[in-house]
Amino acid sequence: MTNPSATADDTRLLVLRALLPARDPDRRAADLIAACAHVLATAGARGATVRAICDRAGVSPGLLRHYFSGLGALIAATYVHVAQGVTRALADAMEAAGTDPQARLIAYVTASFRPPIAAPELLATWAAFWSLVRSDPAIASLHTEVYAGYRDALQKLLMAAGVSPADAPQAAVAITALVDGLWLELSMETSAFTADDANIIARRWLASWLPAQIAT
Amino acid sequence: MTNPSATADDTRLLVLRALLPARDPDRRAADLIAACAHVLATAGARGATVRAICDRAGVSPGLLRHYFSGLGALIAATYVHVAQGVTRALADAMEAAGTDPQARLIAYVTASFRPPIAAPELLATWAAFWSLVRSDPAIASLHTEVYAGYRDALQKLLMAAGVSPADAPQAAVAITALVDGLWLELSMETSAFTADDANIIARRWLASWLPAQIAT
DNA sequence: TTCGCTATTGTACAAGTGTATAATAGCGTC
DNA sequence: GACGCTATTATACACTTGTACAATAGCGAA
């Protein structure tokens, strides 16, 4: 999302530009992506129209096609952006947990129920993407890729924490499913439980897959 | 959905009518609901348009408003119909399991991963409803009602199977979340696991909440 | 057969859809 | 200051959207 060719020298320039009515292309594309995520969360896939998104971004409807090849491409780009954010947040939480394999695993999973991931709007955006997987081939292939990556990372963490290689794939599927199910309910306004509850439940599920029951 | 005032006497009449180009109101309403469920599963909430649904039902677009007050009402009626079907299938599976409380609980939960519930199209329809909860108030209130009922039934089964009243609410939430997460992934074409895998995973989660580890 | 009534159609309508395009505005460079 | 270039707008287009409505068809009753 950030121009990789930006050097330290144009940093001041970028900062100046950010204050003005946004003639910086990256900034505008990011605005559109943020607006798309918000509309998806608020109005669902059905309400994610060109005009709704551009209104939210404070931009004329014609501009969307200047930055993206069409509405579908913007939605796909939004998925990529949100998925990257989630992936990074999980990885950060894991790194912050230190070197103990079980602690890293638990941090990786329970980060799903802390900010910035546990925010209702982000989860609602994510839920909207789920609803597009069956009808939008681009979203479908992104979904497959993202989930394969998540399960793969989880599998490695599980094995590092002592789960046998024979059990790890099933455990990864099982933990992913629980996290998704908890996300799903948390993404709706009238949830029967909180992110803290979800955190506790996920820890318990994790502990049941680990060899020694000494999980924190 | 079936006319409750139908007596044994008009059964022959109904059968005859069913063979003809459907002038039976109940039949037509049911056709529209089935078509709506199919379109929701295939094209998602975004593709569930009046014309797509009526085409699928083999009916002119004007007819929808003759049986329902609008597209939204048809979608809501479809949710009610699908939810009733799922509820009934779960209850049937539970009854068929006999009288042992743990067996009834396990049957109730694992029925989610057997026909008729485990059919991809039904799960995809269900997933489409999830995506409407945030944007459609009617679907939202139905969702709240359905899930409260499901969790309530689960909670009672858990307590009957020996889970303490203090733990039962959390257990019900936890099991519902896992089932939903497994459904979610199974509803997509490119799932990383099968309904049988889901069945095994759900049994394991159930067993971890039961007092004695003698779950079948 | 004739009548009454409802199911059903076909079409029309205004509003909303994604996209295309010509005109404008405003920056950086000379 | 003038120029070139890209971001940006406003609008127009063809099409789809949900709904409204008048016309028709076909059953059951008389």
User: Chain C: nucleotides under 7 Å from a protein CB?
Assistant: 6-12, 16-22, 26-28
Q: Region A123-130: what's the mean pLDDT?
A: 98
pLDDT at A2 over 50: no
Ranking A15-29, A145-159, B127-141 by mean pLDDT, the lowest is: A15-29
Q: How far is CA B156 from the centre of its chain?
A: 20
Q: What is the pLDDT of residue A202?
A: 98
Instruction: Evaluate whether A212 touches A100 at the Cβ level (below 8 Å).
Output: no
Q: What is the pLDDT of residue B23?
A: 59
Q: Which residues of B touch A144 (CB under 8 A)?
A: 190
Nearest to A29 by CA among A6, A59, A4: A59
Q: What is the DSSP string of chain B?
A: ---TT--GGGHHHHHHHHHTT---HHHHHHHHHHHHHHHHHHHHHHH--HHHHHHHHTS-GGGHHHHSSSHHHHHHHHHHHHHHHHHHHHHHHHHHT-S-HHHHHHHHHHGGGSTTTT-HHHHHHHHHHHHHHTT-HHHHHHHHHHHHHHHHHHHHHHHHTT--TTTHHHHHHHHHHHHHHHHHHHTSTT-SS-HHHHHHHHHHHHHHHSSSS---
Please indicate if any CB of chain B lies within 8 Å of the CB of A50: no
- The pair phi, psi for residue B212, each rounded to 5°, is -95, 140
A62-CA/D11-C1' distance, Å? 10
Q: Is the CB of B22 under 7 A from strand C?
A: yes
Residue B181 to residue A181, Cβ atoms within 8 A: yes
pLDDT band at B22 (very low <50, low <70, confident <90, very high): low
Residue A100, SS3? Answer: coil
User: Chain D: nucleotides under 7 Å from a protein CB?
Assistant: 6-12, 16-22, 26-28
Q: What is the pLDDT of residue A94?
A: 98
Q: How far is CA A118 from the centre of its chain?
A: 10
Average pLDDT over chain B reads 89
- Using C1' positions and the CA of B46, the closest nucleotide is D17
pLDDT at B141 over 60: yes
Give the angle subtended at the CA of A127 by the CAs of B127 and B138, to the nearest 5°.
Answer: 60
Q: What is the pLDDT of residue B1?
A: 32
- Using C1' positions and the CA of B63, the closest nucleotide is C8
- Nearest residue to nucleotide D8 when comparing alpha carbons to its C1'? A63
pLDDT at A99 over 80: yes
Q: Is the CB of B25 under 7 A from strand C?
A: yes
Of B130, B190, B192, the CB nearest to A184: B130
Nearest to A84 by CA among A132, A149, A35, A179: A149
Q: How far is CA B170 from the centre of its chain?
A: 23
B82-CA/D28-C1' distance, Å? 34
Give the burial string for B4-15 (b: 16+ CB within 10 Å, else e).
eeeeeeeeeeee
Q: Which residues of B touch A135 (CB under 8 A)?
A: 42-44, 46-47
Chain A residues 153-192 with a CB less than 8 Å from chain B: 170, 173-174, 176-182, 184-185, 187-190, 192
Instruction: Give chain B's end-to-end CA distance (angstroms, integer).
Output: 37
Q: Is the CB of A61 under 7 A from strand C?
A: yes
Q: What is the pLDDT of residue B70?
A: 98
A23-CA/C26-C1' distance, Å? 9
Q: Is the CB of A165 under 7 A from strand C?
A: no
This prediction has a pTM of 0.88
Q: What is the pLDDT of residue A213?
A: 54
Q: Which residues of B touch A201 (CB under 8 A)?
A: 170, 173-174, 177
Closest residue on chain B to A174 (Cα): B201
User: How many A/B residue pairs have CB atoms within 8 Å?
Assistant: 144
Q: Which residues of A touch B47 (CB under 8 A)?
A: 135
pLDDT at B144 over 70: yes
Q: What is the DSSP string of B52-109?
A: HHHHHHTS-GGGHHHHSSSHHHHHHHHHHHHHHHHHHHHHHHHHHT-S-HHHHHHHHH
Q: Which residues of B touch A179 (CB under 8 A)?
A: 181
Q: Region B95-101: what's the mean pLDDT?
A: 97
